[in-house]
Amino acid sequence: MNTFPPSNLLENLPKQFFASLVKKVGQYIKAGHDVINLGQGNPDQPTPKHIVEKLKEAAEKPINHKYSPFQGYPYLKQAAAEFYQREYGVSVNPDKEIAILFGGKAGLVELPLCLLNPGDTILVPDPGYPDYWSGVALAQAKMVTMPLREKNHFLPDYEELTPEALKNAKLMFLNYPNNPTGATATEEFFTETVKLANEHNFCVVHDFAYGAIGFDGEKPLSFLQVEGAKEVGIEIYTLSKTYNMAGWRVGFAVGNERIISSIELLQDHLYVSLFGAVQEAAAEALTGPQDCVWEQNQLYERRRNILIDGLRTIGWEVTAPKGSFFAWLKVPTGFTSEEFANLLLDQAHIMVAPGIGFGSFGEGYVRVGLLTDEERLKEAVRRISSLEIFKK
């Protein structure tokens, strides 16, 4: 019997580090334990009602029961352009500088396929979102990591890149507010990035998934707000986090028209665009009432403060994130990130994500999500305190 083995391409995809952890959590829940899941990045709030109502209304329209245009309806691109103008003061051409995506992840994984040939170099943050690695593997490209260190506010130090890496680089991934560290970027850093990209002729892809989530009165900066950014790259925006639309799978790329054209060409061969009702709901999200975004941001900031203040009270020296819905916490001396994550799960029934799962420079940290209610966060602090690992 033919066993139909997978292709070499599939065999070379990165292994899913967190799969075993999720399986272990499932076993604890099945055994009847009350597990506080702080390890995943799935928003816990519902999609705002006015967006859901638009979907219901749009689903009744016969036009939305047909194939939608390959590259999306013009009204959604126009809504995305209006969003960028309103939120960031960035003017874009909706016809040439916006591509509709099947969620932000799809765009991030597609981009190396659009722009690179086998053996080309991609500059990737470490720690970083693991799905960047998937795009690298599918494009059969070479990955050069850029360490994100706390002493540099979790921004890459470009002086660490070798002349060879810069010469061969065709693409750079960045992500601020950052997953997993919760760090934010400065205008000076983005300006330096544009300068470097111009000097070495590579494309910058800024993953702006957490663009709506900034704390202490600071609004996260769009890469496209910096002069010259559109000439060297694009930004990927998803509605998953801003509007709690993770399951809707809708986002968009915005920026350099040559890159946008390449994305749309690839997608022409993969998809027949999004369900029209989802596109109508996405346009409503981008152009409709925005109170929900502000209220959600306040919710995450309250949760952040409860968690960080609580952990400091029990003696864990932690740093508060500046953005995203994650906190990046140093593990106690004597533990690896995986050992400490296992300890919390085994003894306190708390799931966190070990930092090593985000790259070698993630070692020594765990990622904690702010995606459960305030009482559960307080309970997590109490459980950690009961382990008596930290000194008050």
Instruction: Give the per-residue pLDDT at 17.
Output: 74
Last residue of a domain, one of 260, 287, 314: 287
Question: Can you give the CATH number for the domain in which 32 is found?
Answer: 3.90.1150.10
| Surface-to-core class of residue 317, CB atoms within 10 Å of its CB (0-12 exposed, 13-18 middle, 19+ buried) | exposed
Is residue 40 domain-shared with residue 91, that is, in the same domain? no
Residue 249 inside a domain? The answer is yes
Instruction: Give the per-residue pLDDT at 5.
Output: 86
Is residue 128 domain-shared with residue 237, that is, in the same domain? yes
List all residues 6 or more positions away from 345 whose beta carbon is below 8 Å from its beta carbon: 21, 24, 25, 28, 35, 351, 352
CA distances from residue 273 to 64, 131, 264, 286 in whole angstroms, order as listed = 11, 22, 10, 18
Total count of domains within the chain = 2
Task: Tell me the three state secondary structure of residue 35.
Answer: coil
Q: What predicted TM-score, i.e. pTM, was given to this entire model?
A: 0.95
Is residue 103 domain-shared with residue 239, that is, in the same domain? yes
Is residue 310 domain-shared with residue 265, that is, in the same domain? no
Instruction: Give the per-residue pLDDT at 3.
Output: 80
Instruction: Give the per-residue pLDDT at 272.
Output: 82
Residue 1 inside a domain? The answer is no
Residue 2 inside a domain? The answer is no
Question: Can you give the CATH number for the domain in which 83 is found?
Answer: 3.40.640.10
Residue 148 inside a domain? The answer is yes
Last residue of a domain, one of 287, 318, 338: 287
Rounded (5°) CA angle 78-282-276: 90
Instruction: Give the per-residue pLDDT at 392.
Output: 61
Is residue 131 domain-shared with residue 230, that is, in the same domain? yes
Q: Is the Cα torsion angle 304, 306, 309, 312 positive or negative in sign?
A: negative
Instruction: Give the per-residue pLDDT at 319.
Output: 94
Q: Which domain holds residue 266?
A: 65-287
What confidence tens digit (pLDDT) does each residue in 16-64 have?
A: 777 777 788 888 888 888 999 998 888 889 999 999 999 999 999 999 9
Last residue of a domain, one of 287, 320, 336: 287
Under DSSP, the state recorded for 358 is: G
Instruction: Give the per-residue pLDDT at 15.
Output: 82
Is residue 178 domain-shared with residue 90, that is, in the same domain? yes
- Say if residues 165 and 123 touch (Cβ distance below 8 Å): yes
Where would I find the H helices in the chain? 8-11, 19-30, 49-59, 74-88, 104-115, 131-138, 163-168, 187-200, 229-232, 239-242, 257-270, 276-287, 291-313, 337-343, 374-386
Residue 58 inside a domain? The answer is no
Is residue 237 domain-shared with residue 361, that is, in the same domain? no
Is residue 224 domain-shared with residue 107, that is, in the same domain? yes
pLDDT under 70 in the chain at which residues? 1, 392
What confidence tens digit (pLDDT) does each residue in 154-194 have?
A: 999 999 999 999 999 999 999 999 999 999 999 999 999 99
Is residue 198 domain-shared with residue 335, that is, in the same domain? no
